[in-house]
Amino acid sequence: MRPDHEALIVVDIQNDFCPGGALAVAGGDQIVPGVNALMDRFANVVLTQDWHPADHSSFADMHAGAQPFTTVDMPYGTQTLWPRHCVQGTAGAAFHPGLRTDPAQLVIRKGFRSAIDSYSALFENDRTTPTGLEGYLRGRGITHLTMVGLATDFCVAFSALDAAAKGFQVTVRLGECRAIDLGGSLASQIAAMRAAGVTLAD
């Protein structure tokens, strides 16, 4: 068992990010058994859940004439537009049915404000509005994070980069992640994580 100052952060393993879902990540479901097994090795487990209102501004269909996977300028910066996904209370927003949820002490929901997206588990996409996760982790004396989940190059990478910037020791287990890879995003985010001192493991 890993020591009490370590936590496993399981990012967005939800139906809409798995094959058949609205924003399916190739092989997203393949990581479920490995992530489930990892939970037994950590005393502290946190799940994150992408949790959007029906009128969320990251949905392409909220912008007249816009196509998914294009970008728009928002007050907080450039935002990629996505197919409608992880709408609060829908089956698509539920965790993959095979994912263990009982070992988690905390489920943190993010992206619940219409006007702003939140890839990172720590900060919304303005990179300053906290989700509360940093305070939770610090309050519990957790300093070392292992991250797994979906998608490598969006929510996992943003979470890892924010956590590293806040002084956490971060490991991303790439074997238990799958990527969207939009316009080279996987390579650029891998490079960014490496440059930020995130440990990239198999």
Query: Known catalytic residues?
Result: 12, 110, 155
Smallest distance, ligand VGL to C-beta of residue 118, A: 8
Per-residue binder mask for ligand VGL (CB under 6 A), 87-126, x = binder: --------------------------------x-------
> Cβ-count burial of 75 within 10 angstroms (0-12 exposed, 13-18 middle, 19+ buried)?
exposed
Smallest distance, Zn ion to C-beta of residue 202, A: 27
By the rule CB under 5 A, 12 interacts with Zn ion: no
Identify the CA nearest to 57 among candidates 121, 132, 111. 111
By the rule CB under 5 A, 16 interacts with Zn ion: no
- C-alpha to C-alpha distance for 74 and 54, rounded to whole angstroms: 18
Among 47, 150, 164, 193, binds ligand VGL (CB under 6 A): 150
- C-alpha to C-alpha distance for 189 and 167, rounded to whole angstroms: 19
Q: Please, where are the H alpha helices in the chain?
A: 32-39, 133-139, 157-165, 185-195
Q: Which residue is nearest to Zn ion (CB)?
A: 50
Contacting positions for Zn ion (CB under 5 A): 50
